Amino acid sequence: MENSKKKKKKDRKPLFILFAFFAVFGLFIYLISIPSPEENAKKELITAYNKDAVKQVWEKYKLKLHDSESFLLAIRTKLSTMQLTDAEIKDCIGWLPPAPESLNIIVVPDLSNRIDLIPGQIDSDKKTMEAIWNAFESTCKLKKDSHDRLIVDVTDKHQAGGEFEKIANNLRFNLSDHKGKTNRLYFTQELSNQYRNAVNTMYVSAKGKELGADYYRYFRQYLESNLKKPNFFTKYKNKVIILTDGYIEPQDEKAYTKLYGYEKILYPVAKKGDLKDMINKINKHDFNIPSANIDLSNTEILVCEVTERKSGEGRDSIILEAYWKDWLYRMAAKDVVFYERQKASAATIETIKKFISS
């Protein structure tokens, strides 16, 4: 009898094992067939037809999927397919995690008669241009798949003896197409030589054939096309570097930086050395440079190589700084650095490096 019971239990054991196997297997199939949170989120994105619906999906899943790059990419991609206004894009960027940051550097040298009249100015400009390139390279070379860009532009296509357009392509550097490789591979010696040779050609072409540098017209007509707006994939930092003596005096036009003929009004304030008072004086007499219709809220500007003329030594610098800063800040510039030409090039190099890398 006991042997019979033992035999029955033994006969059932394979059935129990088989049943357990199917139970575990069924549970496994069930578990793997349950959509993951990311799969659910991406399905919901398909039917999200406006930015608010996309934001709801983001808010619903962001805690569970905060480490998922593919989920974040899906959110950014969905938003990029929508016809959104600049204000709507800005709003979305505000609740999204920060996108990778890239530099957009625009260098605009003053090729007016300053390069002939000021002793050693061309050599000083070239050292500054070299410092800009080195700072751009050192800031960007450790990145990968970035959208960093550097261009050299002029205020007027007729500058550089009308030859600028022939060398313009050799002064434009864009890493957007350098994909899947470290940026170190982009910055070759050949590329550095291309930049230096083009800069040298630009100054050789400009020497003795100078036109007044009209920065007012440049800001009004040309700068905006070179600025980059942040998007869902890249946060751009616009940095404009202007090499100028500081006097905005277009060819055959009245000066925008009003000094001569206004000395009795401006020089007593200049002697006090208070920039705020100087700006107030300019505003009081409506001497301001007219604002251009451009948004500089995402743009930092460095005005360097500023050099006073002998007739205004010790006074013109603060007046010029007041004109530039009043003008640029009225156009909502994010930051403005005004830097006089230095005898020690190391100081200029450090200023350039700090401006580009910060």
Taking only the tens place, the pLDDT of each residue in 109-135 is 999 889 998 999 999 999 999 999 999
At 311 the pLDDT is: 81
Mean pLDDT of the chain: 89
Domains within the chain, CATH numbers bracketed: 30-97 (no CATH), 101-357 (3.40.50.410)
The yes-or-no verdict on residue 11 having pLDDT over 60 is no
At 31 the pLDDT is: 41
β-pairing, 149-152 vs 172-174, is antiparallel
pLDDT confidence tier of residue 345, bands split at 50, 70 and 90: confident
DSSP 3-state of 299 = strand
CB 285 within 8 A of CB 213: no
Taking only the tens place, the pLDDT of each residue in 223-255 is 999 999 999 999 999 999 999 999 998 876 789
In 3D, which of 226, 240, 220 has the Cα closest to residue 174? 226
The yes-or-no verdict on residue 35 having pLDDT over 80 is no
Alpha helices in the chain (DSSP H): 2-33, 37-46, 51-61, 69-80, 86-95, 114-117, 121-140, 164-167, 189-206, 215-217, 223-226, 263-272, 275-284, 316-330, 345-357
At 249 the pLDDT is: 85
At 30 the pLDDT is: 46
* Mean pLDDT value across residues 13-24: 58
* Mean pLDDT value across residues 340-349: 83
17/138 Cα distance (integer angstroms): 66
* Mean pLDDT value across residues 264-273: 95
**Residue % of the chain over a pLDDT of 70:** 89
pLDDT confidence tier of residue 37, bands split at 50, 70 and 90: confident
In 3D, which of 164, 344, 149 has the Cα closest to residue 240? 149
At 342 the pLDDT is: 81
* Mean pLDDT value across residues 174-179: 94
At 27 the pLDDT is: 47
The yes-or-no verdict on residue 179 having pLDDT over 60 is yes
* Mean pLDDT value across residues 174-200: 96
Q: Is the pTM of this model over 0.85?
A: yes
In 3D, which of 110, 115, 331, 307 has the Cα closest to residue 214? 110
CB 152 within 8 A of CB 107: yes
pLDDT confidence tier of residue 308, bands split at 50, 70 and 90: very high
**Residue % of the chain over a pLDDT of 90:** 73
